[in-house]
Structure 1
Amino acid sequence: MAMTGVPAADRLHIGFFGMRNAGKSSVVNAVTEQDLSVVSDVKGTTTDPVQKTMELLPIGPVVIIDTPGFDDTGTLGDLRVRKTREILNRVDIAVLVVDASVGVTRADRQLIDVFREKEIAYVIAYNKADLIGGQEGGDSLPVSGNEFSSFTEADYEKALVRDADGHVHGEVFVSAKENDGIYFLKAVIGKLGKTTLETKGLLDGLLEPGDRFILVIPVDSSAPKERLILPQQMMLSEILSHHASAVCVQPEELPDALEKLGCTKCGEPVVFTKEKPCPVKLVITDSQAFRRVAKTVPENVPLTSFSVLMARFKGLLASAVRGVAAIEGLTDGDTVLISEGCTHHRQCDDIGTYKIPTWLKEYTGKEITIRTSSGYDFPEDLSPYRLIIHCGGCMLNEREVRFRMEQAKDRGVPITNYGITIAYMNHILERATRIFPDLHRVLEKANTPRNATTEGFKTRG
């Protein structure tokens, strides 16, 4: 990702669904103005979800997902339908493409029920409107126009329908073949998108113009060559866009940075007052360096990690703090799932497959079985697991993270994340979350140790 780009996880995810031969892929191609999907008169041409990251006016940065027909049959068809259902866990807006000459089928209604159950905003796009030629009256004619400014409030009022339960969805007639009504479909998606995607940042409530941050970024064998990982990019971009500043160092240079910025003097902590506050708003470290950094940064200088802030950004923080206490109950033979949201190449000292498993076994002193998952391959059956330790989720959108969190909650399996786990095992969880006062109540409820020492791992007897 370029520093000026928007991560896929923070883009509006728009999924196109429907029965085979409803013209779904034709609508996708018309909306994107690209040959994104293969189009054919043969049913079931789309065999796997097709995903495209792009800018889509009037919406902005989006991820477009074309899915296989929901009525696909046979063994392979069942697998495709399952993949389509998985897509529903991460879309913000669903577009249900219906053959206007056929109307809404029973299978379409089942999909609509799923949209409502999952609280997904949706638009019904009645395709092939050219075949019915307005025979259903003026309401079945596409709203034409190639300028978004040409659409009136009356057009939107007609297209946005409120059902008996109070849910609002869109209904639009289009002809992908004639490219008619496509601009209005995009405009309606944009209307729903404005109320669906919440604009927020990693440092919401923690960042003011003029603030100074220290970012501790280890450069080791697991770091990508000549670039920063996504959370680091996002953090820097947000700090700069708010007219604040950041000093980026490796752990080795941290003592010198603290000295030069006035947090320490001759290696000793400086006492701060209301008249002379701490010159650094927050030290943010890679979680892998938590133990070392916590020993270096004075107690009166706020400290947290990229992973802790990412957990908050994704809506996982409270659950992660509650869930981490389950580490104390692990026994010989228990299975822990360590889940990554991305599919990067694993190295010998990988944090998910090597470091956390090693630290966990050292901390507990138990023979624990570790299972891993990556990308979107999150297990459907969570019953074998006593604990789930998830990555920061920077490559997953918030809806996907929330789905995993709710799935774990429904199965009664505690879930936490990398940064919270590492802070907990180093006895600095209270300190790492001190910048969120409301979380202290959660810490107490979870019976989580509040000592802020950095003794390292304390193996249980």
Structure 2
Amino acid sequence: MNTTPNASRLHIAIFGRRNAGKSSIINALTNQNIAIVSDVAGTTTDPVQKAMEILPIGPVVIIDTAGLDDTGELGELRVKKTYEVLNRTDLALLIIDGTIGPSEFEEEILKKIKEKNIPVVGVVNKVDLVDFHFSKKTEWEKRLKLELVETSANSGYGIEELKRQIIKKAPYDDRELSLVSDLINPGDFVVLVVPIDKAAPKGRLILPQQQVIRDVIENDAIAVVTKEYELKETLENLGKKPSLVITDSQAFLKVSADTPKDIPLTSFSILFARYKGDLDELTRGLKALERLKPGDRILIAEGCTHHRQSDDIGKVKIPRWIRQIVGGDIQFDFSSGMTFPDNLDEYKLIVHCGGCMLNRREMMYRISYAKDKDIPIVNYGLLIAYVQGILPRAIEMFPSAKLIYDEDRLY
């Protein structure tokens, strides 16, 4: 709770062949023995993450991946996991073993990196072990069409230059992403409705609630936190009309009933739909609910893994609501964490969580992948508002999403 969530950090992933020195580069960058280093090829088997700070970029996550040339049945699975890391990579480091040089493995991953428009820093490691001439570096740069930084992770040579290149290439979003700052003004009251039930984590608030509270007070507004059964009394005793009420989606119906119509209302999940993803595209995905037929297959996707309660929102409630809409049985598949299906062709709809544990690049990848496959995708908050008949009110403050709703006549 005292550190920047990983999902809000810049994700820097390190790619290369086995024993190219990827883990050693991480240790050199962080000045810590974070990654296990060994002369045995294939020491890193699964992606490993480390949160740290690189000034002036700020909080980052560095991801160490398995070697691109891993072999055998398990090796192929590790390479697949390595390629999946690209979906959440904001900046890539391509490590080349200076004693060997680039090969088809580096060329293939570089192609994938460029296809996804991910900025990349090329690194030639182990230059202390060979007579590394300028002509060789020039030759490799021409082959890869990529500038290369010379380093020795063991001696520390070139690590400062590598940091400078990371800072130079780090992407900065020109669009100021915000949860609520564009919806409120300094001095406003914002009421946050936070149910405390068996699904709530003991002793703390969930990440979306924490982040919204932070965004409210960071913009000099006043956050008032209450439970859904105390909302009416809270509003009556506040003394000033709040500029916005934000609720957990599962309490939408009661909160909507207890919130006067002249007070804007939305949910944490809908705020995250636009913060992490594409609110318009997710709103558009609701149309699919009207086209579903018994026997159709739906994917329920969550960005985290958690202990599911007996009446879990993703596993129980949403499937129940959808079956009621369709009037027959629907087949549901479930994915969680960083796992997302390679093949979406069998699905008629994807219902995704708010994505608070995913970074924006990963969430946007999932949305764009679904769009490319012509598979509608919607998020939990939008679907719940739709099911409970309060979608127009929940998106009233988001003009483009409201326009999509009006044009598509979802009701």
1:259 aligns with 2:236: yes
Indicate if the aligned counterparts of 2:280 and 2:400 stay in contact, CA closer than 8 A: no
Question: For each residue in 1:149-180, what CA deviation from the matched residue of structure 2 results, as whole angstroms up to 9, or x when unmatched?
Answer: xxxxxxxxxxx99x98xxxx653111111111
Provide the rounded CA distance (Å) in 2 between the counterparts of 1:205 and 1:240: 13
Show the counterpart of 2:363.
401
Name which of structure 1's ranges 284-293 and 190-199 shifts more when overlaid on structure 2. Answer: 190-199
2:123 aligned counterpart, secondary structure: strand
1:345 aligns with 2:322: no
Name which of structure 1's ranges 333-342 and 126-135 shifts more when overlaid on structure 2. Answer: 126-135
Deviation at 1:434, TM superposition (A): 0.4
Deviation at 1:133, TM superposition (A): 4.4
Choose the corresponding residue for 1:330, options 274, 292, 303: 292
1:61 aligned counterpart, secondary structure: strand
1:185 aligns with 2:147: no
Amino acid at match of 1:420: L
1:376 aligns with 2:338: yes
Question: For each residue in 1:350-400, what CA deviation from the matched residue of structure 2 results, as whole angstroms up to 9, or x when unmatched?
Answer: 111111112222233221122211101211111221111100000000111
1:63-74 to 2 correspondence within 5 Å? 63-74=61-72
Deviation at 1:438, TM superposition (A): 2.2
> Residues 197 and 343 (structure 1 numbering): CA distance in 2 closer, same or farther, change over 3 Å?
farther
Provide the rounded CA distance (Å) in 2 between the counterparts of 1:331 and 1:180: 62
Provide the rounded CA distance (Å) in 2 between the counterparts of 1:196 and 1:312: 14
Show the counterpart of 1:274.
none
Provide the rounded CA distance (Å) in 2 between the counterparts of 1:12 and 1:196: 11
1:24-423 to 2 correspondence within 5 Å? 24-133=22-131, 135-136=133-134, 171-195=148-172, 199-262=176-239, 279-423=241-385
Amino acid at match of 2:183: L
1:363 aligned counterpart, secondary structure: helix
Deviation at 1:11, TM superposition (A): 0.1
Amino acid at match of 1:217: V
Indicate if the aligned counterparts of 1:46 and 1:67 stay in contact, CA closer than 8 A: yes
Choose the corresponding residue for 1:437, options 399, 403, 411: 399
Provide the rounded CA distance (Å) in 1 between the counterparts of 2:189 and 2:255: 18
Indicate if the aligned counterparts of 1:92 and 1:196 stay in contact, CA closer than 8 A: no
Deviation at 1:40, TM superposition (A): 1.7
Show the counterpart of 1:457.
none
Amino acid at match of 1:360: I
Provide the rounded CA distance (Å) in 1 between the counterparts of 2:131 and 2:104: 24
2:342 aligned counterpart, secondary structure: coil
Length-normalised TM-score, structure 1 = 0.84
Provide the rounded CA distance (Å) in 1 between the counterparts of 2:82 and 2:165: 23
Length-normalised TM-score, structure 2 = 0.94
> Residues 12 and 414 (structure 1 numbering): CA distance in 2 closer, same or farther, change over 3 Å?
same
Corresponding pairs, count: 408
Name which of structure 1's ranges 69-78 and 32-41 shifts more when overlaid on structure 2. Answer: 32-41
Provide the rounded CA distance (Å) in 2 between the counterparts of 1:22 and 1:126: 9
Provide the rounded CA distance (Å) in 1 between the counterparts of 2:176 and 2:62: 19
2:406 aligned counterpart, secondary structure: helix
Provide the rounded CA distance (Å) in 2 between the counterparts of 1:350 and 1:195: 37
Name which of structure 1's ranges 282-291 and 23-32 shifts more when overlaid on structure 2. Answer: 23-32
Indicate if the aligned counterparts of 1:388 and 1:414 stay in contact, CA closer than 8 A: yes
> Residues 139 and 330 (structure 1 numbering): CA distance in 2 closer, same or farther, change over 3 Å?
closer
Provide the rounded CA distance (Å) in 2 between the counterparts of 1:138 and 1:22: 17
Deviation at 1:240, TM superposition (A): 1.0
Provide the rounded CA distance (Å) in 1 between the counterparts of 2:404 and 2:244: 22
Aligned-residue RMSD, C-alpha: 2.1
Percent of residue pairs bearing the same amino acid type: 49
Deviation at 1:59, TM superposition (A): 2.9
Deviation at 1:129, TM superposition (A): 1.6
2:35 aligned counterpart, secondary structure: coil
Amino acid at match of 1:214: V
Rg larger in 1 or in 2? 1
Structure 1: stretches of 5+ with no match in the other structure:
141-159, 264-278, 450-461
1:51 aligned counterpart, secondary structure: strand
2:404 aligned counterpart, secondary structure: helix
Question: For each residue in 1:318-350, what CA deviation from the matched residue of structure 2 results, as whole angstroms up to 9, or x when unmatched?
Answer: 111000121111111111111111001111011
Amino acid at match of 2:317: K
Provide the rounded CA distance (Å) in 2 between the counterparts of 1:261 and 1:174: 60
Provide the rounded CA distance (Å) in 2 between the counterparts of 1:66 and 1:244: 40
Question: For each residue in 1:2-41, what CA deviation from the matched residue of structure 2 results, as whole angstroms up to 9, or x when unmatched?
Answer: 3xx2111010001000012211211111112122222222
Deviation at 1:237, TM superposition (A): 0.7
Indicate if the aligned counterparts of 1:341 and 1:393 stay in contact, CA closer than 8 A: yes
Indicate if the aligned counterparts of 2:298 and 2:350 stay in contact, CA closer than 8 A: yes
Provide the rounded CA distance (Å) in 1 between the counterparts of 2:132 and 2:102: 17
Deviation at 1:256, TM superposition (A): 0.9
> Residues 281 and 116 (structure 1 numbering): CA distance in 2 closer, same or farther, change over 3 Å?
same
Show the counterpart of 2:18.
20
Provide the rounded CA distance (Å) in 2 between the counterparts of 1:214 and 1:302: 11
Amino acid at match of 2:364: R
